[in-house]
Structure 1
Amino acid sequence: MTQRVKKAGDILRDVSLDLLPGQLTAIAGSSGAGKTVLLETLAGLRTPAQGVVLHDGSRPGPAGPEFGLVPQEDIIHRELPLGRTLRYAAGLRMAPGTPPAVVDEAVTAALGTLGLSRRTGVPVGSLSGGERKRASIAVELLTRPRVLFLDEPTSGLDPVTGADLMRTLRTLAGQGTTVLVTTHTPADLAVCDQVVFLSPHGTPAYTGPAAGLCAAFAVPSVEEVYGAVAAGARVAAEPLGELTRPETETRAAAPLVRLGAGTLRQWALLTRRGAETLLRNRLSVAVLVGSPVMIVAMFAVLFRAGAFDPRSPDPGSSAMILFWIAFGAFFFGLSDGLLQICTELPVLRRERLAGMRLGPYVASKLTVMLPVLAVADAVLLAVLRALDRLPTADWPTYGSLFVTSVLASAAALALGLLASAAVREPGQATLMLPLLCFPQVLFSGAFVPVPRMAWAGRAISWAMTPHELAGGS
């Protein structure tokens, strides 16, 4: 396999290297030198501004079937047991119609290779940092990639755990997988075949055998190489030479044909995984159950009984009750949607590269969350009616109110999913909650009548969910 990069934007300059089958290569250098950019360019995720990347003589596409990519973040759900996580990943990546026995065999083999066979039933969140990193690698090994790219796999690990992980990668390379890692840890370089050491300007200061790195710069330790490179030292590329491992060990394993699951199968797998992840997350369950209970309790205390009694009509109270019911339905959907995507962005990005489609992903979110929201809306209406906070009416009337509430929740859920996809972390999504709720209250017409609003306010009010629900009811 030949891979060459001449330039990637303004970050990398004059980079050229060859990676051989069954070789472990490290990309090292100071922060900002372009290590991750080089890794992503070699993996086909970035197109170089100049030069070309070739894999077996052909240009790579994003996340081709022969590649495995492990970013710095975990690419597995922490709520699920390790074995279940890998089975879902295998179902999404393997060809349609793959027998369950083949999936189980791939999962067992990946866990065995990474030394995780005894941790199959343990939730990923309960694994140690090193075990979670190996679990992410196990996901990539499910389809037997010929090339494995890892972005700082030992970052955040203690020296012993990091060294153990590098020995695991050394074993994978010995079994025929070409492994490329970026690293900040000097000790990682000792187990590698080749080192590409980048200068702060993104040019290779050294490309050659790991054993010759210190000698090339005439320094006694790898740590001092960093100082020499920062001072501007640079040596010519050295030939790697022949690998000394036996030919039987360096022969690459034949990759599985990875066509990916079809649209319906992806939706079914993602729906099952989403539901299981939700039910296994105690905090999510507490929020889903607790929010409707608290809101219903507050409404029961806030509204007086008999507000809709025709013998003593109170139009102001009646309108306000309808407004807060509408807002409650909106709040259920928005709060449930805001954390659905941003909490699993690393998983989503990696699975998108592996062939997951956005349509089945979004549909799975709606499939899981809409029944939950429908139950919350039904409980809200039923409890308020039982406590005489709503008027006596026939089933069609309440059916219409329920359907309208569910539609309001669904619209808010869609807004929450959109906002969740626009932010990078849960903390940012939490800040979005009041920002999205405030316009619903301000422009709904419950506090300032719509006719008294400025023309811009009147136009905005028609898009507000509580306005539509309360007005329609």
Structure 2
Amino acid sequence: MSTPPPHPRASVETPRPSANGLRLRARRVSRDVRGAGRVLNGISVDVPPGQLTVIAGSSGAGKTVLLQTLAGLSAPTEGEVLHDGAQPGPPGPEFGFVPQEDIIHRELPLRRTLVYAAGLRMPPGTPAGTVLETVEQVLDTLGLAERAETPVRALSGGERKRASIAVELLTRPRVLFLDEPTSGLDPVTGAALLRTLRALAEDGTTVVLTTHVLADLLRADQIVFLSSGGEVAYAGEPAALCEAFGVGTVEEVYEAVAGGVRVERAGPDDIGPADSPSPSRRPAPVGALRQWTLLTRRGTALMLHNRLSVAVLAGSPVMIVAMFAVLFRAGAFDRAAPDPGSTAMIMFWIAFGAFFFGLTYGLLQICTELPVLRREWLAGLRIGPYVASKLTTMLPVLAVADALLLIVLRALDRLPAAGWDTYGSLFASSVLASAAALALGLLASAAVSEPGQATLMLPLLCFPQVLFSGAFVPVPRMTVAGQAISWAMTNRWAFEALGSGVGLASLWRAGGSPSGPPLLESYGDSFGHPASRGWLVLAGFALLFLAWTWAVLVRKCRDGAARSRSGR
């Protein structure tokens, strides 16, 4: 006989003190949504601290919009929302919000995922032992202790939902908002999760959730039932719900509300005066350097645990080297009998290989985890360390790939016998080309809304880099418009820096091939500048793309939260 899966425990066993729950009040709140009109209409509710409040109603009644408005994530069009008598402040570690989508990465084991999340949320200087103890308590509370070493991707849908809740419980929030947490759970697991949420409320945390599950209504301390017009049809205790509508079941309550029935309730002006703002000491935020370190470590772990990423990382350089071996003959750089056309193409494909590595590695770095980023931003994550961590996670891998490519090409005699200065220049050009391409990939990943769109960006970004690189059509032979476009192509500057570093101009001019001088004339001064010129341009592009990525992500996070937070 199989052992039944563990369910969330009905009590919260923790030595930490009870939470000082937040009191929420909405006064005559209305909310307009673009394309949907007025979704909330004159809502006034009071959510006492330390209670479990359920927001119910039919689909389209505005439950999620009300939840976000009460949380302070979206500003009401009319009216006001108060947290402990004051305007909602910036969310932080004491604020918990669990949306419908997953807010954790799926590649790592659950315990390790929570340890990284705790490091980003818990106060600076928290001992590692305390972090681990907190993680173990949360796992035990939610019935996930036996799944601690299981990769998140292998958890069931209900277990992943509990894992998302576990992230929020790490900092013992004063208020916890959940958007349909029991959706998709079996009745037993859903009931156990509600008991856990009630236990959190009894311990002091204010818990507010939306639901479609009828049984959830009867397990709450308070029900806010919305009509299809975004108005409060009922606000009160679950025990009085059916009696208030004169029906016998919760299903009949839904039918009555759909028919336009509303129960008399306290009007907006009947709710008592707002509480005096109570001082709340916010914990010190995790510093930018600490965030960058944790994010780099987590990014490296995620990359190594993703089999597809490892396969791409290992396979891309092998593929490029194989193409070089098939396309080009050995000895193209022999000064006695060089092959000028092949030398130019070898430099181009090294440049494009570095570009392709960087772009493909960057394209899926952000769009696949945007919900996670948005939630962590609300918890205090800075966008700057996040973007920097992507660079420091991927650039060392790209540098190794570039170095291996140069080493193998030299071993195959596709590059000249030269000193450390030449190969140092080639390596620097390749790494900076990869860095600029990686930054461009991150920008594209930040700009799109889903991975499929990022995949479509790959050819759109690659084709101009090939056509306007100056390799197939030398820059001096382009039209004025083409020359202007080529200035914006990182591949042009990588190609010219590589050609300058390997000495193409002198090889073509003084080598033993009669085609060298005419080819040099067609390329003009493309290789007449020091390689450092290309390095500066590539570094500038990398910084520009990273800054642009930062700006796009800040805008997306602010739009996602519908509220600006200065300094992040």
TM-score normalised according to structure 1 size = 0.91
Q: Which runs of 5+ in 1 are unaligned?
A: 240-254
Q: Which moved more, 1:174-183 or 1:152-161?
A: 152-161
Question: Contact 1:152–1:182 at 8 Å: present in 2 too?
Answer: yes
Pair 1:30-2:58 in alignment: yes
| Deviation per residue, 1:233-272 (Å, 9 max, x gap) | 3222379xxxxxxxxxxxxxxx995322111111111111
Q: Distance in 1 between matches of 2:375 and 2:153?
A: 19
Task: State which of 312, 315, 329 in structure 2 corresponds to 1:287.
Answer: 312
Structure 1 residue matching 2:236: 3-state secondary structure: strand
Q: Which moved more, 1:131-140 or 1:404-413?
A: 131-140
Q: Distance in 1 between matches of 2:191 and 2:327?
A: 61
Q: Distance in 1 between matches of 2:409 and 2:92?
A: 55
Distance change in 2, residues 1:18/1:388 (3 Å): same
Pair 1:349-2:371 in alignment: no
| Deviation per residue, 1:342-380 (Å, 9 max, x gap) | 121121111111111111111111111110000011111
Percent of matched pairs sharing the same residue: 73
Q: Which amino acid aligns with 1:138?
A: A
Question: Contact 1:340–1:420 at 8 Å: present in 2 too?
Answer: yes
Q: Distance in 1 between matches of 2:102 and 2:281?
A: 24
| Deviation per residue, 1:65-90 (Å, 9 max, x gap) | 43211111222221222222222111
Q: Distance in 2 between matches of 1:282 and 1:65?
A: 33
Q: Distance in 2 between matches of 1:415 and 1:157?
A: 41
Question: Contact 2:245–2:263 at 8 Å: present in 1 too?
Answer: yes
The equivalent residue for 2:31 is 8
Question: Contact 2:54–2:224 at 8 Å: present in 1 too?
Answer: yes
Give the Å deviation of 1:298: 1.9
Q: Distance in 2 between matches of 1:323 and 1:64?
A: 49
Q: Which moved more, 1:95-104 or 1:37-46?
A: 95-104
Task: State which of 172, 177, 187 in structure 1 corresponds to 2:215.
Answer: 187
Distance change in 2, residues 1:235/1:458 (3 Å): same
The equivalent residue for 2:14 is none
Question: Contact 2:93–2:122 at 8 Å: present in 1 too?
Answer: no
Give the Å deviation of 1:432: 1.3
The equivalent residue for 2:513 is none
Pair 1:390-2:415 in alignment: yes
Bigger Rg over Cα: 2
Question: Contact 1:308–1:314 at 8 Å: present in 2 too?
Answer: yes
The equivalent residue for 2:110 is 82
Q: Which amino acid aligns with 1:281?
A: N
Query: Map of 1:261-280 to 2, 5 A cutoff?
Result: 261-280=286-305
Query: Map of 1:108-119 to 2, 5 A cutoff?
Result: 108-119=136-147
Give the Å deviation of 1:136: 1.2
Pair 1:67-2:89 in alignment: no
Give the Å deviation of 1:64: 4.0
The equivalent residue for 1:252 is none
Q: Which amino acid aligns with 1:286?
A: A
TM-score normalised according to structure 2 size = 0.77
The equivalent residue for 1:146 is 174
Question: Contact 1:338–1:430 at 8 Å: present in 2 too?
Answer: yes
Structure 1 residue matching 2:79: 3-state secondary structure: coil
Question: Contact 1:130–1:157 at 8 Å: present in 2 too?
Answer: yes
Structure 1 residue matching 2:78: 3-state secondary structure: coil
The equivalent residue for 2:151 is 123
Task: State which of 242, 247, 254 in structure 2 corresponds to 1:214.
Answer: 242
Q: Which amino acid aligns with 1:380?
A: L
Distance change in 2, residues 1:457/1:156 (3 Å): farther
| Deviation per residue, 1:277-298 (Å, 9 max, x gap) | 1111212111111112122212
The equivalent residue for 2:549 is none
Q: Distance in 2 between matches of 1:446 and 1:190?
A: 71
Task: State which of 450, 465, 479 in structure 2 corresponds to 1:425.
Answer: 450
Structure 2 residue matching 1:392: 3-state secondary structure: coil
| Deviation per residue, 1:156-205 (Å, 9 max, x gap) | 33444333322322332233322111122223222112222222222222
Aligned length: 458
The equivalent residue for 2:323 is 298
Task: State which of 111, 114, 120 in structure 2 corresponds to 1:92.
Answer: 120
Q: Which amino acid aligns with 2:40?
A: L
Structure 1 residue matching 2:218: 3-state secondary structure: helix
The equivalent residue for 1:242 is none
Q: Which moved more, 1:13-22 or 1:149-158?
A: 149-158
Give the Å deviation of 1:120: 2.2
Question: Contact 1:41–1:48 at 8 Å: present in 2 too?
Answer: yes
Q: Distance in 2 between matches of 1:182 and 1:46?
A: 16
